[in-house]
Structure formats: structure tokens, C-alpha cells
Amino acid sequence: MSIRDPAELSRSELVRWVKEVLRRYGVRPSRKLGQHFLVEPSLLRDIERFGDLRRDDIVFEIGGGTGVLTAFLAFRVKHVITIEIDRRLVEALRELSSALGNVEVIEGDVLEYELPRVNKIVADIPYSITSPLLEKLLLEWRGRYEVAVLTLQHEVGERLIAVPGTKEYGRLTVFCNLFSEVTYLRRIPRSFFYPIPEVDSALIKIVPRSDVPEFNYSNFRDLVTYLFTQRNKLVKKVLTEYIKSRDLRISVDELPSELVNKRVRDLRPLDFIELVKHLKRT
């Protein structure tokens, strides 16, 4: 089987590629698994440009699907490791892999895997796992890759770059901005995928920061998550409940008053670190 570089194919040829794989392997695209496959050559080019793809890169692709992006990557970088949860698509990817030679296919759920040794990550993130996967990328895998180029729901993209006080601002924004530099590269019309999803997407670039202050991650995560369940309340009030429920030996009065008198939604990312330092467990 000889494979053509997807970048040389038109959108209708990519649609044909996707449909052919779905037919051969008996796959009816599942919305739950976020099975909307990329069929737009210009988006492939954008991923290449923004990810600054090079010959010596080793790329981890999350959700290989029908293999269009996998093949596109394989033509440009040294090695691609792709993970896919759908067994039938894994079969399709394995066939592709034996024709391409530099693709390794893992069958499984990305949330249960460790990041392999790679320098870049490219993912078209299924909506159902966006939040846990972003947390993995931002917290757990931080510092173990140079750049991640992600396609995710437009609305999630807006949340990642939101400023304090707005309704899009939340725990993901805080995690994202503390640990990495996030760039919203472009909005992606839903027509770039087959089958067409219900909402537009966004192309996002994440570069982990190297200058992140030291603190206890799991306490931090617990605190941020708790606070944002009551985002419109005064920090003082929510923290009083938090201190009690976590059995911490500190009183809210001992915390910086300029922080505890704000509303949760107005705390800046660094304010959360400040708080977690004071709430050190005994």
C-alpha cells in the first residue's frame, strides 16, 4: 500500500480517505468519542507551521482516528507515536503504520497512559476528555515536552485565554496560565471536519513555562477546584468552609486581607499560589 502525503490532497480527497477508512473498518463515527475527522489541508499546514515541525521531532498524537493527521506528521517528522481508543481505528492505523514505517500505534485510553518520550504533542482533543487531558498536559506532563498544538472546542479555547472576572475565567484558565504560555492561534470552522460537529473549534498552542514557582500540586489543585465551585462568592466565605472541610489549622483572618476580600472569580492565577502557600497542611 502506498500512502500519499495528505498535504497534497484536496479537501474532497481527504473526505474520501476518511469515508473509505470508516467503511472498510465498519466504523460509524461516535459523537461520544469525538470522532470528527480532519479533512482540511490548510489546517494541516497550520499545525505544521505553529508546531514548527522538523525532521528530528518525535511527536505524540492523541486520537489517531482515520490517520490523516498521523500520515501528515509521519511525512514530516522522525517518529510518530499515536494513541487511539477505538479498536477498529487502531487496526486501520496499524495498516497505515506498516506502510509508513515511522509510526507506532498504541491501543488505549490516553488518560490511562504515561507520556512517551517525545518532544512535541499534537492532538485533536475529543470534547469528552478535554478537561482531564488538559490537566494532564498542563500539570502532570509539564516540562516533558516543548510544545503542544491542540485542536479543541472553540469555547474551551476562549476559557484558556480568559482574564479574571469574566465568565469564561475558571480553573482551566488558572492551571493553563500558571504552567504554560497559551496562544489562541485561530478559530476553526466546523466544516473542516467530517462528520461536521455542532460547534467550531480553536487551534491552541501550549508552551510549558520553565519558571513556575515550587508548591504542592495536589493541594493547589484541590483548592482551585473547590474555590471555583463557588466562583461568585467572597473568597473569605468559601475558604472558611474549605478550611473546615479539610481540617486545616489556620483561620481566614491570618490570610492576606486583599486576597480574601475578593470574589473567587477575580483572583489572579498567582493569587491561588499565594493562598495555597498559607494553607500548608500540618
- Give me the residue whose beta carbon is nearest to ligand SAH: 63
Write phi, then psi, for 279 (nearest 5 degrees).
-90, 20
Which of 9, 22, 35, 188 is in the footprint of ligand SAH by CB under 6 A? Answer: 35
Residue 118 sits in the site that holds ligand SAH (CB under 6 A): no
Work out which of 20, 52, 109, 241 binds ligand SAH, going by CB under 6 A. Answer: 109
Stretch binding ligand SAH (CB under 6 A), from 27-35, 91-99, 140-148, 180-188: 27-35
Q: What b/e sequence results for 185-195 when a residue is b if at least 16 CB atoms lie within 10 Å of its CB, and e otherwise?
A: beebeeebbbe
Residue 129 binds ligand SAH (CB under 6 A): yes
Strand partners, 62: 83, 123
Classify strands 147-153 and 120-124 as parallel, antiparallel or unpaired.
parallel
The least distance separating ligand SAH from the CB of residue 122, rounded to whole angstroms, comes to 8
Assess 100 for contact with ligand SAH (CB under 6 A). no
Which listed residue (21, 74, 85, 279) binds ligand SAH by CB under 6 A?
85
H helix intervals, 8-86: 11-24, 41-50, 68-74
Other residues' Cβ atoms within 10 Å of the Cβ of residue 211: 4
Asked if 124 interacts with ligand SAH (CB under 6 A), we say: yes
Count the neighbouring beta carbons within 10 Å of the beta carbon of residue 244.
9
Contact between 89 and ligand SAH per CB under 6 A: yes
Smaller CB distance to ligand SAH: residue 152 or 259? 152
169 binds ligand SAH (CB under 6 A): no
Of the candidate spans 78-86, 155-163, 204-212, 243-251, the one that interacts with ligand SAH by CB under 6 A turns out to be 78-86
Q: Determine which residue in the list 9, 21, 22, 36 makes contact with ligand SAH, applying CB under 6 A.
A: 36
Answer whether 278's CB lies under 8 Å from 242's CB. Answer: no
Q: How far is the CB of 5 from ligand SAH (least distance, A)?
A: 15
Among the listed ranges 51-59, 108-116, 217-225, 245-253, the one in contact with ligand SAH (CB under 6 A) is 108-116
The C-alpha cell of 27 is what?
Answer: 466504523
145 vs 228 by CB, closer to ligand SAH: 145
Please, what sign has the CA dihedral across residues 122, 128, 129, 131? positive
CB of residue 276 to ligand SAH, shortest distance in Å: 30
Beta-strand relationship, 180-188 and 201-208: antiparallel
Q: Secondary structure of the chain: what % helix, strand, coil (to 5)? A: 45, 20, 35
Three-class secondary structure assignment of 205-227: EEEECCCCCCCCHHHHHHHHHHH
The answer to whether 14 contacts ligand SAH (rule: CB under 6 A) is: no
Interface residue list for ligand SAH (CB under 6 A): 33-38, 63, 65-66, 68-69, 83-86, 89, 109-111, 124, 126, 129
